[in-house]
């Protein structure tokens, strides 16, 4: 069997279903315009349980005394493969991906009533896809129509995402290895952008440097729309236009990660377009860097998820006081939320198959405790928009520093490696400028 992690996950999920049936479809193809499609991206839950890359597919997992895992996929079609590429077909897919059974996707609606009949529960991502909700409702109706023949429809419909989110929250060795690889590629992309950056470049030129490095090293592409924000654009959290020229006296913030095997990396770096931090830029940067260090130290097993945000926030607020952005004590500023004009987001999120990955952050009223195998981002920032009460030398400075962290038995493993300190960044940018100068004089 070529994909043991997926088979193991299916078995683990089946054990949680009781006398139930889980239905997990993949994502549909999406039309970009007219008859052109976006590049296909599978559904993350489906991929987690299968590793199967094709559209028009679904998994059915049957619990109870006779558990089994079924894959429904497109039939083999050599004529269509000339146009669209290779298809496994049910027979080859069953063998390659370790399913008990595989059937043509077109047979799913016909088989579904029999698969769910006399079962207690249907597990499905309720409300996620109206078309699938309709299909499952029709299957239940078909079972009810056979009640005189002794068929009983499931009495419960339950949301499958809760079970899968808990499974996905802790990564296995297979996932961790892929995520480290994605982080290595993304780190190389950010380093390349630092080396290439010059005053007068367009933001999209740096975006192109990132994309080149990602694809050159084997990534599937960007994990999300990249942010390349020069100057005051860095104070717009989701700036994605990436179409302005870079001023030599400004900073540029790049938030970009790549996807490898379905898994995301997520890195942000902020650096000086001209290669050296100005005094005010360095002051702000060092505050954010210190906040990130405090957050790293707070990532450890048993700590509540919010602990590393709280640690970063205290450093950021002290920095705001020192910069003259807010008045009062650290505790008072935090309690009044007077810091929010300059820091309006939390310090991180889960990371995995989705950039903002599956998993709850609270269990009831309590923050989820960190545990080995969880992966999260640590991304404090300061965003200083111009204003009448803002010191002029700070106007338009936006800084965020983001890294990916694996929770280990001993604490947190920061496994993204792009240059982070002022000295490291300036050295890499100096190397890039020296190399370009040498090439020009050859």
The pLDDT tens digits for 240-262 are 999 999 999 999 999 999 999 99
The active-site residue out of 35, 389, 437, 442 is 35
Domains along the sequence of the chain with CATH: 4-168 (3.40.350.10), 170-440 (3.90.230.10)
Give the residue among 424, 413, 404, 421 at the shortest CA–CA distance from 183.
404
The active-site residue out of 43, 259, 266, 357 is 266
> What φ, ψ does residue 277 adopt, rounded to 5°?
-70, 135
The pLDDT tens digits for 155-196 are 999 999 999 999 999 999 999 999 999 999 999 999 999 999
Active site residue 345: yes
Active site residue 404: no
**Please, which residues bridge with residue 363 across strands?**
366
| Range 70-97 average pLDDT | 96
**Please, which residues bridge with residue 227 across strands?**
255
The active-site residue out of 166, 356, 430, 435 is 356
| Range 39-58 average pLDDT | 97
Active site residue 349: yes
pTM of the model: 0.95
**Please, which residues bridge with residue 31 across strands?**
37
**pLDDT band at 435, cuts 50/70/90?**
confident
Question: How far apart are the C-alpha atoms of 420 and 12, rounded to whole Å?
Answer: 40
Question: How far apart are the C-alpha atoms of 318 and 330, rounded to whole Å?
Answer: 6
Question: How far apart are the C-alpha atoms of 52 and 35, rounded to whole Å?
Answer: 25
The active-site residue out of 314, 345, 346, 395 is 345
Active site residue 204: no
The confidence score (pLDDT) of residue 384 equals: 98
Residues 6+ apart with CB under 8 A from 128: 161
Active site residue 266: yes
The active-site residue out of 263, 400, 404, 426 is 400
Active site residue 203: no
Active site residue 233: no
Tokens 């592409």 — which residue? Answer: 221
Share of the chain above pLDDT 70, in %: 98
Active site residue 379: yes
**pLDDT band at 218, cuts 50/70/90?**
very high
CA 234-236-242 angle, to 5 degrees, is 65
Active site residue 238: yes
Question: How far apart are the C-alpha atoms of 421 and 289, rounded to whole Å?
Answer: 8
The confidence score (pLDDT) of residue 436 equals: 72
Active site residue 383: yes
The rounded Cα 278 to chain-centroid distance in angstroms is 33
Active site residue 259: no
């Amino acid at each position: 069997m070529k994909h043991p992690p997926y088979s193991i996950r299916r078995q683990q999920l089946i054990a949680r279903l009781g006398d139930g049936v889980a239905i997990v479809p993949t994502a549909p193809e999406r039309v970009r315009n007219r008859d052109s499609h976006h590049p296909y991206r599978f559904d993350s839950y489906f991929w987690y349980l299968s590793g199967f890359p094709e559209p028009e597919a679904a998994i059915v997992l049957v619990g109870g005394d006779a558990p089994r895992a079924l894959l429904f996929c497109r039939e083999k079609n050599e004529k269509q493969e000339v146009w669209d590429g290779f298809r496994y077909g049910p027979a080859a897919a069953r063998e390659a991906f370790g399913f008990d059974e595989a059937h043509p996707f077109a047979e799913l609606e016909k088989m579904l009533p029999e698969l769910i009949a006399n079962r207690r529960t249907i597990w499905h991502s309720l409300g996620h896809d109206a078309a699938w909700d309709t299909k499952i409702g029709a299957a239940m109706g078909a079972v009810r129509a056979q009640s005189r023949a002794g068929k009983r429809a499931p009495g419960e419909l339950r949301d499958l995402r809760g079970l899968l989110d808990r499974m996905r929250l802790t990564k296995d060795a297979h996932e961790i290895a892929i995520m480290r690889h994605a982080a290595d590629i993304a780190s190389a992309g950010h380093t390349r952008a630092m080396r290439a950056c010059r005053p007068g470049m367009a933001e999209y030129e740096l975006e192109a440097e990132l994309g080149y490095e990602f694809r050159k090293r084997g990534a599937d592409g960007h994990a999300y729309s990249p942010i390349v924000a020069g100057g005051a654009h860095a104070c717009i959290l989701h700036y994605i236009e990436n179409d302005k020229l870079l001023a030599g006296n400004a900073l540029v913030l790049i938030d970009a990660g790549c996807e490898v095997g379905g898994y995301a990396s997520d890195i942000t770096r902020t650096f000086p377009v001209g290669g050296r931090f100005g005094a005010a830029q360095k002051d702000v940067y060092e505050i954010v860097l210190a906040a990130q260090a405090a957050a790293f130290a707070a990532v450890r097993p048993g700590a509540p998820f919010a602990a590393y945000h709280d640690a970063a926030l205290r450093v950021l607020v002290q920095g705001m006081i020192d910069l003259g952005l807010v008045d009062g004590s650290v505790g008072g500023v935090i309690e009044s939320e007077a810091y929010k004009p300059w820091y309006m987001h939390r310090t991180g999120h889960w990371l995995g198959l989705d950039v903002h990955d599956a998993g709850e952050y609270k269990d009831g009223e309590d923050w989820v405790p960190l545990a080995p195998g969880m992966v999260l981002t640590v991304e404090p920032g300061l965003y200083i928009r111009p204003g009448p009460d803002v010191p002029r030398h700070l106007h338009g400075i936006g800084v965020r520093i983001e890294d990916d962290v694996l929770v280990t038995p001993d604490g947190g493993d920061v496994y993204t490696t792009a240059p982070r300190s002022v000295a490291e960044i300036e050295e890499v940018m100096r190397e890039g400028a020296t190399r370009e100068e040498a090439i020009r004089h050859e």
